[in-house]
């Protein structure tokens, strides 16, 4: 996939109202370089998949999901497929919404339609008008939104990070824990302990999560389930589908069909 760098979308230094929206279109493979905002941000793609990366990990944002990025968190964004990005910036005046760390949240039909409407607000909107009431609804929906298991935490220890970076580049690499331990320059027991301590996942669970997130990106770009499964190291498509269903509660086909209900 070819990649193109895009400038960071223009963001004001101050918000005139508690919410300000932005709509942007990106071609497949587009990337927005590392940056931060003085406000919290909710990133939603009405089509396509976004991959948001910070120093602490990676979050994949497929249809019907959004990623919460707290204020002043440095992040980059990579697009898979043609992405219609709809993002809102939210001031501290709205109070606590989704926490102090990045997370992927489920987007309810009410939140989706409210976001799409809020993008079109004329700024500054009336403080006591219908726009302000809709902003209160959006804030309540964000607070109530359940999180989705679409995060790949990254270890800080250089030995574990060496292995993590290699597996992020090629999640289908079939090497065993013992073989990766030799790459890391540590014992297998030490490498396992490092992953558990620094990512809260056992090595095998971390690798499965890396495969799930890469699979989401590949499926979003139009690749067939069979080719994705084999590329990620699964012996059969059914093994990949079973893993996908355990993680996300449905099959890949149904997952992406449900996402196409957005606009």
Task: Give the CATH number, domain containing residue 129.
Answer: 2.60.120.810
User: Alpha-carbon torsion 54, 251, 24, 98, what sign?
Assistant: negative
Does one domain contain both 100 and 32?
Answer: yes
* Last-in-domain residue among 122, 148, 174: 148
* Last-in-domain residue among 148, 181, 200: 148
Domain tally, the chain = 2
* Last-in-domain residue among 116, 148, 180: 148
**Angstrom distance (rounded) from CA 9 to CA 243:** 36
Peptide bond into 124 cis (omega under 30): yes
Is the pLDDT assigned to residue 259 strictly greater than 60? no
Does one domain contain both 139 and 175?
Answer: no
**Predicted TM-score of the model (pTM):** 0.82
State the CATH number of the domain containing residue 235: 1.10.10.60
Give me the percent of the chain exceeding a pLDDT of 90: 68
Does one domain contain both 188 and 131?
Answer: no
Segment 128-146 shows an average pLDDT of 94
* Inter-residue contact 181 to 166 (CB < 8 Å): no
Strand partners, 49: 80
Does one domain contain both 164 and 136?
Answer: no
Does one domain contain both 135 and 15?
Answer: yes
Does one domain contain both 168 and 40?
Answer: no
Is the pLDDT assigned to residue 210 strictly greater than 80? yes
Q: What is the pLDDT of residue 170?
A: 95
Does one domain contain both 20 and 104?
Answer: yes
Pairing of strands 65-69, 147-148: unpaired
Alpha helix ranges (H) inside the chain: 109-119, 130-144, 158-169, 177-184, 188-199, 203-220, 225-231, 237-248, 252-259
Does one domain contain both 143 and 160?
Answer: no
Nearest to 58 by CA among 132, 133, 169, 159: 169
Q: What is the pLDDT of residue 249?
A: 85
Does one domain contain both 141 and 185?
Answer: no
User: Quick one: pLDDT band at residue 254, thresholds 50, 70, 90?
Assistant: confident
**Angstrom distance (rounded) from CA 154 to CA 160:** 9
Does one domain contain both 127 and 25?
Answer: yes
Q: Which two tokens stand for residue 219?
A: 């499926």
Does one domain contain both 138 and 39?
Answer: yes
Segment 183-191 shows an average pLDDT of 96
The pair phi, psi for residue 153, each rounded to 5°, is -70, 150
Q: Which two tokens stand for residue 78?
A: 């990579």
**Angstrom distance (rounded) from CA 263 to CA 251:** 22
Query: Whole domain around residue 32: which residue ranges?
Result: 4-148
Does one domain contain both 142 and 169?
Answer: no
């Amino acid at each position: 996939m070819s990649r193109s760098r895009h400038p960071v979308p223009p963001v004001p230094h101050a918000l005139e109202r508690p919410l300000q929206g932005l709509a942007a279109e990106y071609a497949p493979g587009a990337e927005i370089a590392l940056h931060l905002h003085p406000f919290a941000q909710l990133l939603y793609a009405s089509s396509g998949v976004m991959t948001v990366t910070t120093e602490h990990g990676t979050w994949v944002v497929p249809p019907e999901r959004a990623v919460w990025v707290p204020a002043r968190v440095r992040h980059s964004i990579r697009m898979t497929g043609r992405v219609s990005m709809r993002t809102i910036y939210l001031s501290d005046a709205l109070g606590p919404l989704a926490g102090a760390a990045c997370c992927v949240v489920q987007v309810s039909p009410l939140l989706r339609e409210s976001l799409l409407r809020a993008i079109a607000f004329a700024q500054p909107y009336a403080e006591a008008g219908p726009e302000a009431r809709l902003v209160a609804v959006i804030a309540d929906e964000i607070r109530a939104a359940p999180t989705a298991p679409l995060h790949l935490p990254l270890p800080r220890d250089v030995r574990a990070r060496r292995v993590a970076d290699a597996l992020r580049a090629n999640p289908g690499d079939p090497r065993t824990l013992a073989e990766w331990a030799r790459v890391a320059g540590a014992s297998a027991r030490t490498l396992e302990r490092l992953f558990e301590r620094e990512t809260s996942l056992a090595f095998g669970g971390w690798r499965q999560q890396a495969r799930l997130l890469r699979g989401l990106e590949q499926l979003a770009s139009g690749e067939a389930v069979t080719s994705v499964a084999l590329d990620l190291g699964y012996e059969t498509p059914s093994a990949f589908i079973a893993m996908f269903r355990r993680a996300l509660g449905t099959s890949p086909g149904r997952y992406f069909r449900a996402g196409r209900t957005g606009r």
